[in-house]
Amino acid sequence: MKRAALCLALVPIGGCASLPNETAKATCAATSQFAFVCGATKPEDLAVVPETRWVIASGFATGAGLKIVDGRARRAQRWFTGATDQVAPDARYPDCAAPPDPALFTARGISLRVTAPGQARLLVVNHGGREAIEIFAVDFRRPDAAPLLRWQGCLAMPAGHVANSVASYSDGTVIATVLTRPGTSITDFVMGRDTGGVYERGPRDRAFRLLPGTQLPGNNGLETARDDSGFYVIAFGPRQVVAYARRNTRQPLWRLTALDFMPDNIHWDGDRLLLAGMARDEPACGGTRKIIDGVADAMACHRGWTVAQLDPVARRFTLVASGPPDPLFNGVSAAVILDGALWLGSYQADRIAIRSLTHDDMN
């Protein structure tokens, strides 16, 4: 992939509503390490629609909602518009009488699970107008057309609890992380105190419940095991991946610490787990994250970034790619690989970053 400027105009795709070009071409030109897909405000999490060219991006800002990105043309479109044909309530998800308001829809963590050939369930953490896990059906049986999206309902988070990431088991059980439970703060988990937890809701449950033993310093990224035997959760404060068994969460199975970066989201890519995050110790930002006057640094200073893969059987990290601070892209929080390129999401930026991968990176 040549690092030419890739600030692309947003054009209609498969019936999705087009967006205004949110960033001028001059400010969206490629940098020394990234090309960009613009118009994706705070794409905190990413998912590839399997065996297609389509990438889903969340939008961690009021009204940013969901984007669908054509991976070949590298064009982003607003995906959920609230149109009548995008709403199909399902009695399994009864907590919300109406879909999220597109003007408020604030999408954070996402999770895509294939349920049948060409069909999937998309779970989305929403902060816009309500704290809930929004449930969507995705139809990608037409490979040359943008996937179809239909809202089916939501699962409300417990009062006062703000979800961060979400995942599911094959039986429909949903689990979600809470970064800071009521009464705790970001400063607390930076100092190593337990602040969050993993919450579970089965298909017949009426509410989420805290899984005992899952309280960690900043419960962040989340993924279930391939065989449904448990899950992996990132403790953002100590930069750890913590593994739990599904049937007994009172004690972790194991913990691994990422030495040089702060992993955020975690998702499967084949038989490996991909993790992405900002540099732990960034000289340009004065080193590690600081607490100043009792408040944790917001990390607005541009930090370097890392993507690593984790072999959960060998319990070993392997570097996929890393780089220095970038003048136009900070807050790296998610990664996916599509057609030999690394796509990076961010909880701060107004774009998705793309970097080519070498053969060595992919093996």
pLDDT at 137 (0 to 100): 98
24-33, 293-302, 308-317, 321-330: segment of lowest average pLDDT: 24-33
In the chain, the amino acid numbered 198 is: V
CA–CA separation, 162 vs 179, rounded Å? 7
Per residue in 50-88, pLDDT (tens digit) is 999 999 999 999 999 999 999 999 999 999 999 999 999
Query: Is residue 104 classed as helix, strand or coil in its secondary structure?
Result: coil
Over 50: is that where the pLDDT of 42 sits?
yes
Mean pLDDT for 335-347 is 97
Token pair, residue 189, equals 């988990």
Q: Classify each residue of 169-201 as buried b or exposed e, where b means 16 or more C-beta atoms within 10 Å of its C-beta.
A: beebbbbbbbbbbeebebbbbbeeebbbbbbbb
Q: In angstroms, how far is the first alpha carbon of the chain from the final one?
A: 18
pLDDT band at 27 (very low <50, low <70, confident <90, very high): low
Residue 343: strand pairing partners: 336, 354
DSSP 97: S
Token pair, residue 110, equals 């996402």
pLDDT band at 28 (very low <50, low <70, confident <90, very high): confident
Percent with pLDDT over 90 in the chain? 90
Contact at 8 Å (CB) between 167 and 224?
Answer: yes
pLDDT at 300 (0 to 100): 95
Task: Name the residue among 122, 239, 109 with its Cα closest to residue 178.
Answer: 109
Residue 148: strand pairing partners: 139
Whole-structure pTM value:
0.91
CA–CA separation, 91 vs 163, rounded Å? 22
pLDDT at 214 (0 to 100): 98
Per residue in 118-145, pLDDT (tens digit) is 999 999 999 999 999 999 999 999 978 9
Per residue in 302-321, pLDDT (tens digit) is 999 999 999 999 999 999 99
pLDDT band at 227 (very low <50, low <70, confident <90, very high): very high
Mean pLDDT of the chain: 92
Over 70: is that where the pLDDT of 9 sits?
no
Query: Is residue 358 classed as helix, strand or coil in its secondary structure?
Result: coil
